[in-house]
Amino acid sequence: MKNPELVHMRGEDGVWLQDTPDNPMIINAVLLFDRLRLADFMEVWDKNVMQVTDQATGQMQYHRFKKRVVYQQGRFYWQEDPCFEINNHIFAVEDPEIRNEDDLALYLGREASKLLPKERPLWQLHFFEKIGDGSALVVRIHHCMGDGVALIPILFSLIDEVSGSPSDLEKVSKPQIPVWIRFGIVPLTAIPVLLRRLCWIPDRSILHGPKMNGEKRFGWTAPISMIDVKALKNAMGATVNDVLMACVAGAFSRYLQLKGQTVPTKIRT
């Protein structure tokens, strides 16, 4: 039997294939939704991901979900898995000890420390039919298959369409700085930056703790209303990202204060 064709992997994807036992290069995420059966989810996944074809080539659009990574002669390649079986990648987890989101966070922490099987395409979806009043999906996808931005269209393909149309956005223009000023500033700012790097003091902050051992911990907040976020950003003349980053910085600040640590100026709100 002839082996499937090898397709050279781009450098920006191959750079992520540096997994170590204590630091897998894997995107881990949790999706929480209304109660759903595994069979219904797999039907949606097959229709909106596995069966979607590229109009230009006629080939599978998300073909990496069927391709494993092969390393030969110092280079990484994509190769279609001749033994591909969807049940190796999407499966139900039936553990009576996992009943709510706290249990799910502990499960994800254990799973996130594990490497994915190298002989198969590097992704898994762990389905939980009963988590609280709904269902959940633990997503594990290796970074070489795509970053968060590249995977967003796949996520959108799995959710119901929203009725209505988006509102028009007001155009905002930024003041333009003359080219001669921009080029003149570069050499002036480069000198102090270089001096600061040369005099860099080694980082010995106790906040960073001991060397990582590979054990993972996960958690997430309750859903946050985008209406509230937008109201706050409008009142403050900020952006959605500003509001969310302020929330993260505030959480770090409260945690460090709780532990009796001085909050670094870089994360103070």
pLDDT, tens digit only, all 269 positions of the chain: 567 889 999 999 999 999 988 889 999 999 999 999 999 999 999 999 999 998 888 889 899 999 999 999 889 999 999 999 999 999 999 999 999 999 999 999 999 989 999 999 999 999 999 999 999 999 999 999 988 778 888 888 887 766 666 666 666 666 666 665 666 665 666 666 666 666 666 555 545 656 666 677 888 888 888 899 999 999 989 999 999 999 888 888 888 888 888 877 776 65
pLDDT of the residue at 66: 96
The CA distance from 50 to 62, in Å, is: 7
Residue 265 lies in a domain: yes
Boundary residue ending a domain (158, 174, 201): 158
The CA distance from 23 to 151, in Å, is: 21
Boundary residue ending a domain (111, 132, 158): 158
Considering just the CA atoms, what is the radius of gyration of the chain in Å? Answer: 23
Domain count, the chain: 2
In this structure, are residues 98 and 129 in contact, taking their beta carbons and an 8 Å threshold? no
In this structure, are residues 101 and 32 in contact, taking their beta carbons and an 8 Å threshold? yes
pLDDT of the residue at 166: 67
Residue 238 lies in a domain: yes
Residues 134 and 228 in one domain: no
The CA distance from 44 to 38, in Å, is: 10
Domain assignment of residue 64, given as a range? 6-158
Residue 80 lies in a domain: yes
Residues 13 and 128 in one domain: yes
Residue 186 lies in a domain: no
Q: Where are the alpha helices (DSSP H) in the chain?
A: 11-14, 38-45, 101-112, 148-158, 179-198, 226-236, 240-258
Residue 212 lies in a domain: no
Residues 154 and 260 in one domain: no
pLDDT of the residue at 210: 60
Boundary residue ending a domain (136, 158, 180): 158
Residue 66 lies in a domain: yes
